[in-house]
């Protein structure tokens, strides 16, 4: 390929990259502040603890567990950390869409305790009746940290939650 042909090809690729999309894909970050976010289905064997054998109360150690039904541990969990300490009176709002065309479910978790930095995290579980059948995953989800006055401090959503215009 000639030198001119190489430059034309590079210019065409650059033009495609810069102007080929009229809108950048949403990253899912609505309001920065969530630095770690993962989701995982936890079965009853995943949630058994040695303390259960000896009848000791549940102890999360450096983590904080929040469950939609505190009597049940198995379910669908979101694990997250913030890059700041949530202020007193904050709540974590989890919204999930179970199937297409259904209004999102809303679960509110008051943040009474904080995980111990740097390894501690919030483990937020949809448990009990909210867990869904084995292998269930939300079609779409949105997590937001809201202060006592109702102001959103941090928020993130899944790809299928919608466009940035949908969440405003």
Architecture of the domain whose range is 26-161: Sandwich (2.60)
* HEC letters along the chain: CCHHHHHHHHHHHHHHHHHCCCCCCCCCEEECCEEEEEEEEECCCCCCCHHHHCCCCCCCCCCEEEECCCCCCCEEEEEEEECCCCCCCCEEEEEEECCCCCCCEEEEEECCCCCCCCCCCEEEEEEHHHCCCCCCCCCEEEEEEECCCCCEEEEEECHHHCCCCCCC
> Which pLDDT belongs to residue 23?
40
> Which pLDDT belongs to residue 18?
46
Domain locations along the chain: 26-161
> Which pLDDT belongs to residue 62?
82
Strands 75-82 and 34-42: antiparallel
> Which pLDDT belongs to residue 54?
61
> Which pLDDT belongs to residue 25?
43
Instruction: Give pLDDT tens digits along the chain (168 positions).
Output: 556 555 655 555 545 544 444 443 446 889 999 999 999 998 766 665 666 556 666 666 688 999 999 999 899 999 999 999 999 999 999 999 988 888 999 999 999 999 988 889 999 999 999 998 888 899 999 999 999 999 999 999 998 887 555 555
**Residues 6+ positions from 97 with CB-CB distance below 8 Å:** 104, 105, 138, 139, 140, 141, 160, 161
Separation of alpha carbons 165 and 145, rounded Å: 19
> Which pLDDT belongs to residue 152?
96
């Amino acid at each position: 390929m000639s030198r001119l042909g190489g430059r034309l090809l590079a210019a065409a690729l650059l033009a495609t990259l810069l102007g080929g999309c009229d809108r950048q894909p949403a990253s899912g970050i609505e309001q920065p502040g969530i630095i770690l976010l993962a989701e995982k289905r936890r079965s009853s064997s995943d949630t058994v603890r040695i303390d259960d054998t000896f009848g000791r109360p549940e102890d999360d150690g450096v983590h904080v567990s929040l469950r939609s039904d505190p009597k049940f541990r198995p379910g669908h969990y979101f694990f997250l950390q913030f890059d700041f300490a949530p202020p007193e009176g904050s709540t974590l709002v989890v919204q999930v869409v179970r199937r297409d065309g259904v209004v999102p479910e809303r679960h509110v978790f008051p943040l009474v305790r904080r995980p111990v930095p740097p390894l501690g995290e919030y483990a937020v579980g949809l448990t009990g009746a909210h867990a869904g059948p084995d292998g269930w995953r939300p079609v779409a989800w949105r997590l937001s940290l809201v202060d006592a006055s109702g102001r959103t401090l941090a928020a993130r959503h899944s790809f299928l939650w919608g466009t940035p215009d949908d969440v405003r």
